[in-house]
Structure 1
Amino acid sequence: MAKILVGVGGGIAAFKTAALVSRLVQQNHDVHVVLTHGGSQFVGAATFAALCNHQPVLDAFDPRFPLGPHIELADGADALVIAPATARILASCALGLADDLLATLYLACNCPKVMAPAMNAVMWRHPAVQHNIGLLERSGVIIVGPGEGWLSCRVQGVGRMADPEALLDQIHEIVHSG
């Protein structure tokens, strides 16, 4: 059983992350969810609590973690998965901004990291986003997706978050390689 941290960004693709969490739990992983404010607007904390049997963490000052959730959650983590990884999360992590709990957790984790970008096709192609993807990849982050297809902005294009199966395959590879 691996300790898997799942960060949920503020995008409509967060519904896929709920399915990912469910599948990870079914594979007997200990899953802890960090839910951004934006993520909580798409899928509520109650959903993730029911799926993984841990109350999601939404606040950097959560009293359940005297040392801080970014420190206590990172301790012993086998992988950090951020899905959906919005343009803001990509930038915050790439630049080391630590401007919210999830970006701070990213910096505190000394484990393999997987990100599943999800955004509008125009945003995905933006040079700033592509620059941040390059920074993350050079620092060892595994980028899964995005795929092409129907987007929530009602157009075809690249920007769809990878399906849970693709993320599960990557997590399986990480967990079973060490």
Structure 2
Amino acid sequence: MNIVLGISGSIAAYKAADLASQLVKQGHEVHVVMTRAATEFITPLTLQTLTRQPVLVSLEDEKQSWKPGHIELADQADLFIVAPASANIIGQFANGLSPDPLSSIYMALPRTTPVLIAPAMNGKMWLHPANQRNVERLKEDGCRFVGPAEGDLACGYEGTGRLAAVEEILGQILD
């Protein structure tokens, strides 16, 4: 299966390395697309090494071909996963904003391509009415969600907002 793995800005971004590695070990072709904020938590080189594929971070990275890379990735995706998905990227998706390759790929996906979103953020952000409206809108658009989980959060709070366990995300992919 050809999987596009999106990674947005969250401390949980480091867990995406394990997810990417597990997907590759299962025989999937994994193409990573990161927001600039995600690169503050994990490097593109790590993910490029694990997936053996170039990592897309900015639209400027697409200069190697006449065809826009984000459109090609959207066209070829059998599955689009975002793990972790920040409140910012959820808001961009829900409101049709596409300022970066990750949200541009989401906007260019054929409507038949399954989308799996694994949120990770502060619990107050997760429960904020604006974020919940965005989540509901994405569910209405056909997106599936896994998590967030409860527990200790990176911000020092305890509550809902942790990235779902990699094993749980992998289980959702099999469904």
Q: What's the TM-score bracket when you normalise by the shorter of the two chains? A: over 0.9
* Conserved 8 A contact 1:34-1:57: yes
* 1:98-132 deviation line (CA, Å, top 9, x unaligned): 12111110011121000001100111110000000
**Equivalence for 2:26:** 27
Superposed CA offset, 1:14-44 (max 9, x none)? 1111100000000010000001101111010
How far apart in 2 are the matches of 1:39 and 1:65?
25
| Structure 1 runs not aligned, ≥5 long | 174-178
State whether structure 2 residue 23 is matched by structure 1 residue 15.
Answer: no
By how many angstroms is 1:53 displaced? Answer: 0.1
Provide the secondary structure at the position in 2 that maps to 1:75. helix
Q: Identical aligned pairs, as a percentage?
A: 42
Shift of 1:163: 1.1
Say if 1:65 and 1:72, in contact at 8 Å, map to a contact too: no
| Separation of aligned partners in 2, 1:116 and 1:156 | 18
Distance in 1 between the 2:138 and 2:76 partners? 22
Partner of 2:117: 115
1:1-178 maps to which residues of 2 (within 5 A)?
A: 2-61=1-60, 62-110=62-110, 111-173=113-175
- Deviation of residue 88 (structure 1)? 0.5
Instruction: State the shift of 1:96 in Å.
Output: 0.6
- Unpaired runs of at least 5, structure 2: none
Letter in 1 for 2:3: I
Question: Contact conserved, 1:113 with 1:142, CA < 8 A, in 2?
Answer: yes
Q: CA RMSD in A?
A: 0.9
Report how many residues are paired: 172
Contact 1:9 1:39 in 2 (8 A): yes
TM-score of the two chains, using structure 2 as the length reference: 0.96
Amino acid at match of 1:9: S
